[in-house]
């Protein structure tokens, strides 16, 4: 019998280096047995060392991509990555306002690991007011959460109260990712859905290249939601997948990279 794959959607920028953005999302979708569709927001010239150029796609064409894909495919779950501008965010928000049945995982991509700005300053207000309220989950790292809250988060014992604070501010379930905590031996993420706290921990893998981990994590959550898992189950399964992908990393030219198709027997 032919397999039926649930449909997933990524709305994000292209990473010409292949490790993050739409490229990472599609690899993750395929690895986790969903059929990935796309709406590109930007083209970037980048590699793991940094971003050297950004070309913004017009908001009208972003809307055209979204409408054309959704007219044909029954999208179960979607994720956003690099949205870049206020006008693109408004176009994406309009789409999800009209399609509330699609489960949205919002990765609030603001700054690349290399330091390149991936969200314009005037777009942050639109992100928080127009799009975040439509999400099923937001997945900020510590730097992004600090920007969203206006206060610094750099200690383990802040994770739970700050996840709750983010929920109180935006009224949306929050996965606060603690992987950037200084000197951490364990990478702990905290999920607060408005009622319960869930913690997901894995040993911190030192000397691993982490380019694309945020994109991969949110794409994995999207995939598991598309397969019908609950929010906490989807996050837990995605955490396992990401850890295995880092553990089973592959050599890519002058560096190593997480493996989007890890060997489960590794």
Q: Is 194 one of the catalytic residues?
A: no
Among 90, 136, 177, 239, the one annotated catalytic: 177
- Point out the catalytic residue in the list 212, 222, 236, 239: 212
The secondary structure of residue 5, as a DSSP letter, is: P
Alpha-carbon distance of 166 to 173, in angstroms, equals 8
**What does the longest C-alpha to C-alpha distance in the chain come to?**
53
Q: How far apart are CA 101 and CA 120, in angstroms?
A: 29
Catalytic residue among 28, 38, 188, 213: 213
Q: Is 202 a catalytic residue?
A: no
Q: Residue written as tokens 């027997």?
A: 265
SS3 37: strand
Q: How many CB atoms lie within 10 A of CB 3?
A: 5
Instruction: Identify whether 19 is a catalytic site residue.
Output: no
> Of 44, 178, 215, 222, which residue is the catalytic one?
215
Q: Environment class of residue 12 by beta-carbon count within 10 Å: exposed (0-12), middle (13-18) or buried (19+)?
A: buried
What length does the chain have? 266
Residue 92 CA to residue 87 CA, distance in Å, equals 9
Q: Is 44 a catalytic residue?
A: no
DSSP code for 122 = G
Q: Give the DSSP letter of residue 6.
A: P
Pseudo-torsion of CA 86, 161, 179, 53, nearest 10°?
A: 10
The conformation of residue 141, written as its DSSP 8-state character, comes to B
- CA dist 147 and 23 (Å) reads 26
One of 113, 128, 210, 252 is an active-site residue; which one?
A: 210
State yes or no: is 13 an active-site residue: no
How far is the C-alpha of 118 from the C-alpha of 14, rounded, in Å?
A: 12
Confirm whether 42 is a catalytic residue: no
Please give the positions annotated as active site.
177, 210, 212-215
């Amino acid at each position: 019998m032919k397999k039926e794959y649930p449909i997933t959607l990524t709305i994000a920028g292209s990473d010409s280096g292949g490790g993050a953005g739409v490229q990472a999302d599609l690899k993750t979708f395929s690895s986790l047995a969903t059929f990935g569709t796309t709406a590109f927001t930007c083209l970037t010239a980048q590699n793991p060392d940094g971003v050297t150029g950004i070309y913004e796609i017009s908001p009208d064409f972003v809307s055209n991509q979204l409408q054309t894909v959704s007219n044909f495919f029954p999208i179960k779950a979607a994720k956003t990555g690099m949205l870049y501008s206020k006008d693109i965010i408004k176009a994406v928000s309009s789409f999800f306002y009209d399609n509330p049945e699609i489960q949205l995982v919002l990765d609030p991509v603001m700054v690349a690991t290399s330091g390149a700005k991936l969200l314009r300053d005037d777009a942050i207000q639109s992100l928080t007011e127009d799009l975040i309220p439509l999400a099923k989950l937001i997945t900020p790292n510590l730097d992004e959460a600090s920007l969203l809250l206006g206060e610094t988060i750099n200690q383990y014992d802040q994770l739970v109260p700050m996840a709750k604070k983010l929920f109180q501010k935006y009224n949306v379930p929050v996965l606060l990712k603690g992987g950037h905590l200084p000197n951490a031996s364990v990478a702990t993420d905290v999920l607060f859905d408005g009622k319960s706290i869930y913690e997901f921990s894995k040993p911190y893998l030192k000397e691993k290249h982490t380019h694309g981990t945020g994109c991969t994590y949110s794409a994995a959550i999207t995939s598991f939601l598309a397969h019908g898992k609950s929010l906490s189950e989807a996050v837990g399964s995605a955490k396992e997948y990401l850890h295995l992908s880092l553990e089973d990393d592959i050599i890519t030219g002058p560096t190593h990279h997480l493996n989007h198709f890890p060997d489960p027997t590794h």
